[in-house]
Amino acid sequence: MNRGQILLLIVLIFLNKTSMAGNTKNYFQQEVNYKIDVRLNDKKNSLAANIEIEYINRSSDTLSDIWIHLWPNAYKDRNSALCKQMLENGDASLYFSKEEERGYIDSLRFTADGEVITLTYDKSNKDIAVLHLSKALLPGNRVILKTPFFVKLPSAKFSRLGYIGQAYAITQWYPKPAVYDRDGWHAMPYLNQGEFYSEYGSFDVTIHLPQNYVVGATGDLQTESEIAFMDAKAVEAKNYSNDMAFPKSSTAFKSIRYTQQNVHDFAWFADKRYYVLKGEVITPHKENKVSTWALFTNSESHLWKNSIQNMNDAIYHYSALVGDYPYKQCTAVDGTIAAGGGMEYPNITIIGKAYDPFTFDMVLAHEIGHNWFYGILGSNERDHPWMDEGMNSFVEMKYAMLKYPPSVYGNLNELGAAGLAGRILGTNQYNYKEAGNFEYQIATGNFSDQAIANKAVDFTYINYGIVAYKKTALAMNYLQDYLGDSIFNACMHSYFDEWKFKHPHPGDLQKVFEAESQKNLDWFFKDFIYSDRSQDLKFKKIKKTDSGFDFTVQDKAKLNAPFPVSAYHDSIKFITWYEGSELGKMISFPCEGCAQLMIDEEGSTLDVNRKNNRFPRNHKINVSILPKTHALDNHSLFITPIAGWNRYNEGMLGLSFYNTSLPLRQFEYSISPLYAFGDKTINGIANFKFTFPVRNFFIDKISINNNLRKFSYGEELYRNENLKFVRENVGYVRYSPEITFNIKKSHIRNSISQTIQLQSVHLLEDQVQYTFNQGKASGAIKTENINFYRFKYLLVDRKVVDPYSLKFQTEANTDFAKADVEFKYRISYKMKGKGADIRIYAGKMFHDNLNGLYGYFLSDRNGVRGSNDYAYDELYFGRSETEFFLFQQMALRQGAFKIYTPFGAYKDWIFSANISIDLPIPLPLKLYADLGTTDEFKDDIKAVYDISSNFSYNAGICFSLVKNTIEVYFPLIKSEEIKKYLDNKDSKYSEQIRFVFNLYNLNPLNLRNQLF
């Protein structure tokens, strides 16, 4: 499967040690041969079939049961491992699917050597069952298992099996014995993240389907009439168009038969719209003739018309680097049916939308490459995805670097690097290896690196693509640079020769590499791939000597891995590799007259911080106007013009100096001074953030953030000491240091994250203070110093269906103490992005010397100066406004009433419940209602407004362009006391409309932080 392009796209838009399978048991492998006869019903999207399985027990064990995979049942209901994993990975499509979109396998009636046998489903997985043999299967014996079966095909929009219209992807579709090997049975449920492990054998498959279908399948076609049909299709004239309609199915059926040996799976694809192209390639070593077939629709015919050349290149290249392609044919089909990327099966690959020729070539090469890493070298991909996806990605990377001159990579990939985002971020400058390294840095930059040797199911969704694919490819490249090309290539070839059509373990790969290279490679196979620490090599001690350099090198991650050191003398490069055992030891590097010494200049290692790899250090800073991705060996400084506006400062212009980009950096800052043209003052925002990982503690990450902000917040009219009226702006300076502790998760994939935060807010607030002299009051602006101290606990479950969060906060200073709690719960609808939100909020004042100055309110903006946001947490266009348009801006805080109400809890407690319900229509509209009460309500307010209810409420309809960020609230219903209050004020309806415009949420950098 291909994940790289998907990941790069995501990025641009926006430990456990598994035990090394060291087993002393002798290697053996079972043989499983299949005969299947299947009929496609393209009206009901189903298969009716009979299967005969010859199971040969080549182990020394007697088997009384055979574990069997019934993987179409993965689409049966919400309880399947597939559905659960998809949800965890943020995909609720199967969870919310309609009955008719789901699939299953049934009508099974197994016999063993003609006798009916029983089948028991696995308790937790309906796509796994165990067959109870009536006669135990002795070592060396065989049993013939037979059963009819019926498959209701699911929609192919979920995963790999199914249909879109009348395009069929028939994969993982028949009952299939699990692998029995040195470690026992490997029964596993079907998953998206975590692929395959199957027994080798032969297939003899006959497919019955309407005559006008074009079929691509594993194996060699045996039916003469169908061979003629395909050959004719291949040479017929092609009139490419935009037509994607399905022709009517022929009423007459055809029967076509395929056979293949030494494969571990059989997949087939059928579509009536397919064009056919045919070619041939001869493998480099054994000169095997391989027919290449391309089957495609009009969807991307401009890419597919050249696909035979792409396929031939990939087959030739992989054969040269790994070993000759051993089969007679290789087919690629256009997978407008599968979601994104591509998918591999023996002899056949399905390719999704690729958009541009370079991506198309790479995805095609990657999927064809799986014929080696998966097809021929059949490692257990669920347990060791790196041996499959990773090693395949490595050869794919080598292929890209060989085939395309380095200067043109970035401009080839329209989807990622060469698109607008790629040009802004500078990723179009990366070569293929550097692009992979950039993706890896995304994981390390957030301290969420994982070990290469993880099981597929233990990777986070994003790391499955980054670590199992890209990091492994980079690590294999590291091993290659360390061993040298010729030794490395010899190792690959012996691995292929020794393990083709078998089930190699990581230990087997190590053995081959060590035997061929005559080197101990424990550093790689026992340490490096099992570590989740990110390598960071640096010079520790270093001095220049008369004859060269004396130095020690340190790896901050304490990995015991080799490293190259190099220097130039008259532009001649001297390079030496040192073993990991040399780390920390004094090394003499003879190089007379050399000016500079470098660790890993060529980027062989996985060093994540190359700024400390040079002596003397270079302090080059890359400066640009828009944020570019960070270069590994330089500092970045971005200087972007910015503009702002508020009612008092009026128009502001300035520059933002910052280093925030991708990947995340340990120290990030932004300094954004703004000149205000209204009151001619300097304002702005500055932020300094330092994040570091913590190990072996219940905390896994600590970040320290310092935020500084200065703006004008209002306009005052007062008599000065000369008793003249003056109108003057007042401003504030807010400094808020905070420290945030990320509580370690029980498992890195857990969707619940918890943080504890300590924050203090220090305000310098301009206030007009009056003095009385001979009965006359005169004012002057003085600056008050006010401090607040906060403790916050936040729990967020980011699961895709029904996410929730809980926030508890206490706040105090010498004058008051209060605590509040906010619970949010979202009920997700089937319709993507829609749902209903419930919020419960309660707060209590424990101590208050200031008569409710820091009290609670049902609605935002209740202060004397327009806002009760006393700690200046929010940003408003007109903070001190008390009427009209700017006053109608609100923040969803405290009681979060959407209509203005003056009622609050000055002294004691508040409670509110807020509900908003997205309308299940493709318009951004929602209904909302707020209900709340406070201690003041019972007596004072009831008496003043002559009402009987203890509760205040309001409801209406909201236009929500961006949730909680850009929204307009139109009130429709309000409780009696709100009505009376507004009537007394002669408030017009237009003044009762309120809006949210949240500048924090609109900052792209905050958006970036939400991704991690």
Assign 621 to helix, strand or coil.
Answer: strand
Question: What tokens were used for 196?
Answer: 């395959």
Specify the residue, 396 or 930, whose C-beta has the smaller distance to Zn ion. 396
CB of 427 to Zn ion, least distance (A): 22
The DSSP secondary structure of 342-384, one letter per residue, reads EEEETTEEEE----SHHHHHHHHHHHHHTTTBTTTB---TTT-
Q: Please report, as residue ranges, which positions from 384 to 413 form the binding site for Zn ion (by CB under 5 A).
A: 389
* Contact by Cβ (8 Å): 684, 674: yes
Write down the residue that tokens 């004020």 correspond to: 985
CB of 411 to Zn ion, least distance (A): 25
Assign 68 to helix, strand or coil.
Answer: strand
What is the C-alpha separation between 32 and 150, in angstroms, rounded?
Answer: 21
How many residues touch Zn ion (CB under 5 A)?
2
Window of 181-189, 383-391, 539-547, 996-1004 that interacts with Zn ion by CB under 5 A: 383-391
Q: Does residue 1 bind Zn ion (CB under 5 A)?
A: yes
Specify the residue, 6 or 733, whose C-beta has the smaller distance to Zn ion. 6
Assign 491 to helix, strand or coil.
Answer: helix
Specify the residue, 341 or 426, whose C-beta has the smaller distance to Zn ion. 341
Specify the residue, 1 or 117, whose C-beta has the smaller distance to Zn ion. 1
Specify the residue, 317 or 710, whose C-beta has the smaller distance to Zn ion. 317
Specify the residue, 450 or 629, whose C-beta has the smaller distance to Zn ion. 450
Write down the residue that tokens 């017009």 correspond to: 988
Specify the residue, 1 or 49, whose C-beta has the smaller distance to Zn ion. 1
Query: Sign of torsion, CA 67 68 74 78?
Result: negative
CB of 160 to Zn ion, least distance (A): 12
Q: Does residue 315 bind Zn ion (CB under 5 A)?
A: no
CB of 389 to Zn ion, least distance (A): 5
Specify the residue, 389 or 977, whose C-beta has the smaller distance to Zn ion. 389
CB of 366 to Zn ion, least distance (A): 6
Residue nearest to Zn ion (CB): 1
CB of 312 to Zn ion, least distance (A): 20
The number of beta carbons lying within 10 Å of the beta carbon of residue 489 is 16
Residue 876 DSSP class? -
CB of 415 to Zn ion, least distance (A): 17
What is the C-alpha separation between 386 and 449, in angstroms, rounded?
Answer: 15
The number of beta carbons lying within 10 Å of the beta carbon of residue 162 is 27
Q: What is the dihedral of CA 886, 891, 896, 902, to 10 degrees?
A: -40
Query: Sign of torsion, CA 162 168 174 176?
Result: negative
Q: How many CA atoms lie within 13 A of 414 on its CB side?
A: 7
The strand pair at 682-693 and 587-590 is best described as: unpaired
Specify the residue, 55 or 386, whose C-beta has the smaller distance to Zn ion. 386
Residue among 477, 474, 500, 501 at smallest CA distance from 489: 477
Specify the residue, 97 or 379, whose C-beta has the smaller distance to Zn ion. 379
CB of 370 to Zn ion, least distance (A): 6
Specify the residue, 340 or 737, whose C-beta has the smaller distance to Zn ion. 340
The number of beta carbons lying within 10 Å of the beta carbon of residue 816 is 18
CB of 367 to Zn ion, least distance (A): 7
The number of beta carbons lying within 10 Å of the beta carbon of residue 896 is 21
* Contact by Cβ (8 Å): 880, 985: no
Specify the residue, 389 or 869, whose C-beta has the smaller distance to Zn ion. 389
Q: Which residues contact 507 (CB under 8 A, 6 or more apart)?
A: 20, 21, 22, 525
Specify the residue, 160 or 734, whose C-beta has the smaller distance to Zn ion. 160
| Runs of H (alpha helix) within 46-112 | 81-88
**CA 867 to each of CA 360, 370, 645, 813: distance values in angstroms, whole numbers, following the listed order:** 56, 62, 18, 20
Distance of CA 218 to the CA centre of its chain: 32
What is the C-alpha separation between 630 and 611, in angstroms, rounded?
Answer: 11
CB of 2 to Zn ion, least distance (A): 5
Phi-psi region of 658 (alpha: psi -120 to 50; beta: other; left: phi over 0): beta
Assign 133 to helix, strand or coil.
Answer: strand
Specify the residue, 179 or 456, whose C-beta has the smaller distance to Zn ion. 456
Residue among 290, 445, 432, 271 at smallest CA distance from 366: 432
Specify the residue, 322 or 845, whose C-beta has the smaller distance to Zn ion. 322
Q: Does residue 686 bind Zn ion (CB under 5 A)?
A: no
CB of 1006 to Zn ion, least distance (A): 34
Write down the residue that tokens 């199992």 correspond to: 468
Q: Which residues contact 221 (CB under 8 A, 6 or more apart)?
A: 227, 230, 256, 257, 258, 329
**Which residue type is seen at 197?**
Y
Please give the biggest Cα pair distance in the chain: 116
Residue span 337-376 as binding mask against Zn ion, x where in contact by CB under 5 A, dash where not = ----------------------------------------
CB of 348 to Zn ion, least distance (A): 14
Residue among 477, 600, 452, 585 at smallest CA distance from 537: 600
CB of 469 to Zn ion, least distance (A): 7
CB of 355 to Zn ion, least distance (A): 18
The number of beta carbons lying within 10 Å of the beta carbon of residue 766 is 18
Specify the residue, 1 or 169, whose C-beta has the smaller distance to Zn ion. 1
- Helix/strand/coil percentages in the chain, nearest 5: 20, 40, 40
What is the C-alpha separation between 779 and 787, in angstroms, rounded?
Answer: 24
Specify the residue, 178 or 395, whose C-beta has the smaller distance to Zn ion. 395
Window of 8-16, 263-271, 381-389, 442-450 that interacts with Zn ion by CB under 5 A: 381-389
CB of 387 to Zn ion, least distance (A): 12
Is-cis flag, bond preceding 139, omega within 30? no
Window of 1-9, 29-37, 460-468, 692-700 that interacts with Zn ion by CB under 5 A: 1-9
Which helix (DSSP H) or strand (DSSP E) does residue 100 occupy? Answer: none
CB of 245 to Zn ion, least distance (A): 32
CB of 396 to Zn ion, least distance (A): 9
Query: Sign of torsion, CA 173 177 183 187?
Result: positive
Specify the residue, 389 or 874, whose C-beta has the smaller distance to Zn ion. 389
CB of 379 to Zn ion, least distance (A): 13
Q: Which residues bind Zn ion (CB under 5 A)?
A: 1, 389
